[in-house]
Amino acid sequence: MKKLILLFIVGSLFAQYLPPQSDIAKMSSTEKLMLYNMNKKSPALGVVYGMIVPTLGHAYANNWKRGIIINGTKLGSYILSVIYWDKAVWDEEGKEDEYYRKSELFSKICFLTVIFDVIDSGFESNRYNKNLYRTIFGEEPPSFSLNLQPTYQGATLTMSYAFK
């Protein structure tokens, strides 16, 4: 029971507090922008959470299922790596057998999954922000870009913003 209560407390830290869609439609653009800024998630914070505790970065971005699948893959590859390592046998010449190679493969998969989990937490936070923008404003978020263009006289910085 204590674990369940702790899970609810941690889950409430990442909850989204949006009014009903009918109330959002009545808001001014300034109020919508304030609502968006209050509820958007920081990709950097999602990455930090993902580094501290597995799946916490995905929970921060409201995508528990993806985090559980990624970490299930990580756990499975780790277990297979240990199983094959126990079965590995070296002969007198110091050559490893197929079990050692399989253990090495699953160890690499586990390592890559750890890195993917952390990076994906940041991408999931960005995806959450785009969906939040669509929910509040009813349209795609505007695209914004900065370009550094070298010229013979020096570099030129251009900024472009797409208006709809």
Per-chain mean pLDDT for the chain: 80
Mean pLDDT, rounded, for 4-8: 61
Confidence tier at 64 by pLDDT (50, 70, 90): confident
pLDDT at 106: 92
pLDDT of residue 37 exceeding 90: no
Confidence tier at 103 by pLDDT (50, 70, 90): confident
What is this structure's pTM?
A: 0.70
pLDDT at 164: 46
User: Which of 47-56, 92-101, 149-158 is modeled with the greatest confidence?
Assistant: 47-56
Confidence tier at 33 by pLDDT (50, 70, 90): confident
Give the Cα separation of 122 and 116 in Å (integer).
10
pLDDT at 54: 86
Give Cα separations from 115 to 109, 121, 122, 133, 159 (angstroms).
10, 10, 12, 28, 32
3-state secondary structure of 154: strand
- Contact status, residue 24 vs residue 141, Cβ threshold 8 Å: no
pLDDT of residue 52 exceeding 80: yes
